[in-house]
A and B are shown apart, each in its own frame.
Chain A
Amino acid sequence: MNNQKTIKNIEQDLIDDFSLFETWEEKYEYLIDLGKKLAPLDPAFKTEDRKIKGCQSSVWIHSYKKDGLVHFEGDSDAIIVRGLVGLMIMVLNGQPSKEIVGAPLDFINTIGLSSHLAQTRSNGLRAMIKQMKMDAGVLG
């Protein structure tokens, strides 16, 4: 469904959405909601060796190519991280490999989630993005 929109377009939509949130609660309720709504990942893909190990939570990303575009599914055992998985899927799903690999993803700072990129949680969002970009590169 995102086929017509570029990564930049979707990032801008999210920036617009997040700008409506006046409190931290609204922002996190959105993420939690996103986490709850994320389609469950097939347990076959939730194996130990496919796990992006975090210090505190685990993340799984399943990537595949369809109609020349890269698609993602994912999961986490923590709900906010699951929301972040959902957010990244929203932005990167169904895009060309080259676009995914080169996306600067500046929106994360703009919508005030940069703390999730901090070193202490480096195995969360940062590792997730690294994995998605790497997968996209491999899938070409």
Chain B
Amino acid sequence: MKTEGTYDVQAIRAQFPILSRKVKGKDLVYLDNAATAHKPLAVIDALVHYYSHYNANIHRGLHTLADEATTAYEASRTAVKDFVGASSPDEIIFTKGTTDSINLVAHSWGKSFLQEGDEIIITSLEHHANIVPWQMIAAEKKAILRVIPIDDNGILDMEAFKAMLGPKTKFVSVIHVSNALGIINPVEEIIRLSHEQHAVVLVDGAQSSVHLDIDVQTLGCDFYVFSGHKIYGPTGVGVLYGRRDLLESMPPYQGGGEMIKEVRFDYTTYNELPFKFEAGTPNIADVIALKAGIDFINSIGKPAIRKHEEMLLEYATAQLKDIAGLRIIGDVKNKVSVISFIIDGVHPQDLAILLDNQGVAVRTGHHCAQPLMHRLGIVGTTRASFAAYNTLEEIDVLTQALNKSLKMLL
């Protein structure tokens, strides 16, 4: 039962300094990876190395440090291009994170191409980051926001989606993997159907980028967005992949340095892609260190990590189902290593507090998906999410800690 094959989870854990710390006197069991993943030493070292050896502003300086920083920054762009299978680094825009990427698209694309009466479609599973920017631009443009319904298990109603699609559909923005429930949405089909109606499609990859093999050209999406910190990289850096012709057609999101070609007081011409969308001094250090996060994933390989995470998911699902009164929300086959659950008569916050006292970090609450919780008729869930470095033993600790918490609460 407890064989982990050739996957050397202990060797992987050894790369993460934080995993050896104690919380309230107990070994940390970190199961909040869907919120943010920990950083391997290589990522931390990349940050330190940048600031200690070649800190400089990029692209315009003509000295050695600027050369080195620019080279490292652009190497990261190429690494991201390969990570998502884009055809050119020009299609990779660095942002602050997933939220920033979506806001960029909603603002820039929406401002130019949305008209009164146009329809934007999202799903019932969206994170607030893929709801609010669309509400804002829809209100501004008098466009209509439509929502694909789900069934009680969180599965998208594709028939309803098909009925919703039409000539008025201009944009479809969908979460690839539900952050709250872990469900993988059929984005390939959504993209295909949307494109039949000439609608533009954004895939929110905040949760999928770390678990699933992503090839934006195979997927066929127009935009794919994700955050660095969820793929073992630093916080404060995110990615917007956009199809070149779309990005070319969109106006800049912010004005400033770096994004310009020529500035006079009476006119400005804009820089080429990707710089057109990277106004001001970017987050150089974190962009550079993001490559170390991607390298970490590539050093093991996503399929191997996925296999390990699926084993953890299967084991944890079986363990948790043995707990009386526990119900997994979104208990479906096609999901990533996330278990969201509720327990009869137990408030998630109480569980989180008692689990924390046992060294176990989980996430509780609405997971920034209040409309989803509302649809499911619950206030929130407790969510355990597993990463490359989690072990079966940690799931045993979770189960024991849960049982102990319930004994105290009930």
A: residues with CB less than 8 A from B are 24-25, 28-29, 32, 55-57, 77-81
Contacts and interface: CB of A to CB of B under 8 A. Distances in A.
Nearest to A36: B409
B357 A80 contact: no
B244 interface: no
B347 A57 contact: yes
A4 B353 CA distance: 35
B408 A29 contact: yes
Given A24-B24, A55-B365, A56-B364, A79 B348 contact: no
B408 A56 contact: no
Given A57-B347, A79-B347, A80-B350, 12 more contacts: A24-B24, A24-B357, A28-B354, A28-B408, A32-B350, A32-B409, A56-B352, A56-B380, A78-B350, A79-B409, A80-B349, A80-B353
Contacts of B379: 56, 77
Contact of A79 (B350, B352, B380): B350
Residue of B348, B364, B409 with most chain A CB atoms under a 10 A cut-off: B409
B29 to A, nearest CB: 16
Given A24-B24, A28-B354, A56-B364, A81 B408 contact: no
A103 to B, nearest CB: 24
B96 to A, nearest CB: 21
Nearest to A78: B347
Contact of A32 (B24, B364, B365, B408): B408
Nearest to B24: A24
A57 B353 contact: no
Nearest to B348: A56
B229 to A, nearest CB: 17
A25 B353 CA distance: 11
Nearest to B365: A56
A83 to B, nearest CB: 9
Interface string B6-29: 000000000000000000100000
Contacts of A57: 347, 349
Contacts of B350: 32, 78-81
A28 B347 CA distance: 15
16 contacts: A28-B357, A29-B408, A55-B365, A56-B348, A56-B349, A56-B352, A56-B365, A56-B380, A57-B347, A77-B347, A77-B379, A78-B347, A80-B349, A80-B350, A80-B353, A81-B349
Given A28-B354, A28-B357, A56-B365, A78 B349 contact: yes
Nearest to A25: B408
